[in-house]
């Protein structure tokens, strides 16, 4: 099974279960609550564990459809993040419309341009793409602005090179509960699922309980990931 297929079919559903929450209103707009940077971190590390070249990308992002509330990171400081894996971009395991059953749906996680279920995925390196008639009624547009220089070792040592910094006021955050090493543990768990050395938590544990189980049961994650990266 190829890396992209593994990420799409096995890793994305596991990460979606852990991270994706029901959409909520924020400042008069819908927040899809996908946690894109966390998904990108895990996809990057897992791709490297499979021996595939991978890069972390940040930039602008837009969801355009008459059937769902618009979403855009254009002009915002908090840019979206995704990966380029094996030369393919965008690889974004976070995007899902399943919490909105009335919405047009993707066939699978985003692993490249083109048609994906009811959506057309477009990748560009400047905003001129927004002036084009892309030709579909449901569009997901990625505009790459930067490729981050951080190595796997850098990110394992400090995941907040990519992730939003933890808030000292959020006593319920995963950082507060488990420390920054929880992200390496989730990576190791998902890689184990992908290689059939671990069992999925999706069918047996709610997200908070699943993270607690991973925190307690996955051992020496950072060292094992660094040893496994080719």
Q: Tell me which of 89, 113, 147 is where a domain ends.
A: 147
Does residue 224 sit in the same domain as residue 143? no
Q: What is the reported pLDDT for 24?
A: 67
pTM of the model: 0.93
- Residue bearing tokens 């990931």: 225
Range of the domain at 87: 3-9+23-147
Q: Does some domain include residue 59?
A: yes
Q: What is the reported pLDDT for 173?
A: 83
Please write the tens of the pLDDT for every residue from 131-178. Answer: 666 556 899 999 999 999 999 999 999 999 999 888 777 777 888 899
What's the average model confidence in pLDDT over 86-113? 94
Does residue 112 sit in the same domain as residue 31? yes
Residue 208, token pair as written in the block: 């908070």
pLDDT greater than 90 at residue 73 = no
Long-range Cβ contacts of 123-131 (<8 Å, 24+ apart): 123/89, 123/90, 127/60, 127/74, 130/62, 130/74
Q: Answer with the residue of higher pLDDT: 103 or 214.
A: 214
Q: Is 11 helix (H, G, I), strand (E, B) or coil?
A: helix
Does residue 82 sit in the same domain as residue 156? no
Name the strand (E) or helix (H) holding 206: none
């Amino acid at each position: 099974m190829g890396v992209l297929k593994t990420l799409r079919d096995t890793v994305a559903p596991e990460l979606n279960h852990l991270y994706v929450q029901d959409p909520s209103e924020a400042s008069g707009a819908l927040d899809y609550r996908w946690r894109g940077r966390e998904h990108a971190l895990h996809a990057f590390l897992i791709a490297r564990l499979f021996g595939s070249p991978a890069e972390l990308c940040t930039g602008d992002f837009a969801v355009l459809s008459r059937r769902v509330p618009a979403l855009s990171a254009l002009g915002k400081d908090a840019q979206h993040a995704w990966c380029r894996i094996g030369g393919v971009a965008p690889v974004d395991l976070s995007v899902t419309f399943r919490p909105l059953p009335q919405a047009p749906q993707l066939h699978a996680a985003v692993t490249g341009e083109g048609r994906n279920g009811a959506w057309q995925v477009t990748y560009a390196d400047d905003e001129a793409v927004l002036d084009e008639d892309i030709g579909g009624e449901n569009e997901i547009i990625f505009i790459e602005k930067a490729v981050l220089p951080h190595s796997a070792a850098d990110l394992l040592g400090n995941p907040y090179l990519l992730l939003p910094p933890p808030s000292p006021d959020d006593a319920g955050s995963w950082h507060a509960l488990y420390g920054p090493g929880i992200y390496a543990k989730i990576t190791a768990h998902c890689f184990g699922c992908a290689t059939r050395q671990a069992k999925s938590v999706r069918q047996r544990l709610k997200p908070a309980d699943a993270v607690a189980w991973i925190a307690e049961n996955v051992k020496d994650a950072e060292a094992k990931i660094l040893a496994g990266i080719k």
